[in-house]
């Protein structure tokens, strides 16, 4: 069964043409900044549906959170995150440094795009991730394999990683989007503030921030996808124009502040003793990047600076985020 959007009111926007599902590969790694520590790698493969091609059970589960239905999509994905201390060549890691940890998960999410007056939109996303933190997440195997391929030092301290623990994470985000305005010739710009909350034994935090874009952002492009925790984006994107093979681009910058109550990768396991450090209660991300759209293909790169996440951390984290999406 598919969910149908409610009838649009006057002034609401129609869905984009050539609506098709999108498959996306997202990769985040600190190799782009010649480091190998803290959040060191994340990868996810996901599929986002066309509008209204959503199982009724998924809509019913998310409806109490997303409220009035507009244009609704849903997504599924699998991913893995890895975290390591500053010196991966030490067999006995510094107990005051980032613990070794990996997180393997599957996720299902709903994105609701609701048009309001004056061409403005709200975008509400709900995502549930279920998986495991610990040796069963295969962090040691994945990092060792990659380091063998790229001839990097072998990680020696995975024997001290967090223990196996079921991992549950619920993310809810709301973004407010205003129509883009011409700022220079045919180039346009827009600003989109957002708020969010994460609940679970993986992350528990409240977040707020904004994203500024400039260039030729398609009307239904939500920004490049990111891995949790992040400034929001989306696997879905619209074509840059009605002409087949059209080219589009934009640059963007974003900022997000998080009030952190729990981060399992710093606090350690929930129900048993494990490596841990004293986390910072306020963490921020600054990001900037570029997006190119070639017909049904979207490529993006984001550079991220994340403020110190735990007491005694040497310096802020730097890593890059790459994504490639294709509309099938």
* pLDDT tens, position by position, 73-121: 999 999 999 999 999 999 999 999 999 999 999 999 999 998 887 778 8
Q: What is the pLDDT of residue 228?
A: 79
Other beta carbons within 10 angstroms of residue 44's beta carbon come to: 22
With 0-12 CB in 10 A as exposed, 13-18 as middle and 19+ as buried, what is 291? buried
SS3 51: coil
Is the pLDDT assigned to residue 4 strictly greater than 50?
A: no
2 forms beta bridges with 55
Q: How many angstroms separate the CA atoms of 154 and 102, rounded?
A: 16
Is the pLDDT assigned to residue 122 strictly greater than 70?
A: yes
Q: What's the CA angle centered on 327, arms 322 and 328, to 5 degrees? A: 130
Which of 131, 111, 132, 133 is CA-nearest to residue 122?
A: 111
Place 328 in a pLDDT band, splitting at 50, 70 and 90. Answer: confident
Q: What domains appear along the chain, each with residue ranges and CATH number?
A: 22-327 (2.40.128.140)
Is the pLDDT assigned to residue 307 strictly greater than 60?
A: yes
Ranked by mean pLDDT, the top range of 166-180, 213-227, 261-275 is 261-275
């Amino acid at each position: 069964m598919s969910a149908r959007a409610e009838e649009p009111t006057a002034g609401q926007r129609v869905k984009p043409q050539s609506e098709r599902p999108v498959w996306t590969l997202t990769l985040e790694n600190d190799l782009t900044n010649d480091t190998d520590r803290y959040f060191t790698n994340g990868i996810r493969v996901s599929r986002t549906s066309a509008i209204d091609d959503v199982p009724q059970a998924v809509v019913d589960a998310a409806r109490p959170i997303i409220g009035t239905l507009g244009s609704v999509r849903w997504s599924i994905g699998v991913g893995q995150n890895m975290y390591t201390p500053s010196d991966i060549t030490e067999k006995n890691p510094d107990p005051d440094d980032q613990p070794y940890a990996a997180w393997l998960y599957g996720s299902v999410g709903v994105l609701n795009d609701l048009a309001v007056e004056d061409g403005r939109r709200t975008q509400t996303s709900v995502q549930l991730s279920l998986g495991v933190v610990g040796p069963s997440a295969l962090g040691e195997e994945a990092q060792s394999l990659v380091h063998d391929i790229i001839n990097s030092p072998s990680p020696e301290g995975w024997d001290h990683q967090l223990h196996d623990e079921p991992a549950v994470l619920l993310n809810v985000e709301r973004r407010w989007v205003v129509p883009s305005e011409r700022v220079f010739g045919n180039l346009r710009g827009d600003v989109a503030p957002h708020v969010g909350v994460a609940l679970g034994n993986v992350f528990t935090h409240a977040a707020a921030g904004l994203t500024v874009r400039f260039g030729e952002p398609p009307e239904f492009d939500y920004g490049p996808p990111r891995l949790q925790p992040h400034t929001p984006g989306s696997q879905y994107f619209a074509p840059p124009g009605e002409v087949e093979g059209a080219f589009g681009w934009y640059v963007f910058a974003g900022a997000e502040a998080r009030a952190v109550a729990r981060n399992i990768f710093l606090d350690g396991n929930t129900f048993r003793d494990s490596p841990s450090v004293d986390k910072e209660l306020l963490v921020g991300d600054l990001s900037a990047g570029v997006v190119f759209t070639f017909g049904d293909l979207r490529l993006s790169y984001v550079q991220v600076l994340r403020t110190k996440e735990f007491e005694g951390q040497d310096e802020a984290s730097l890593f890059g985020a790459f994504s490639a999406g294709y509309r099938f």
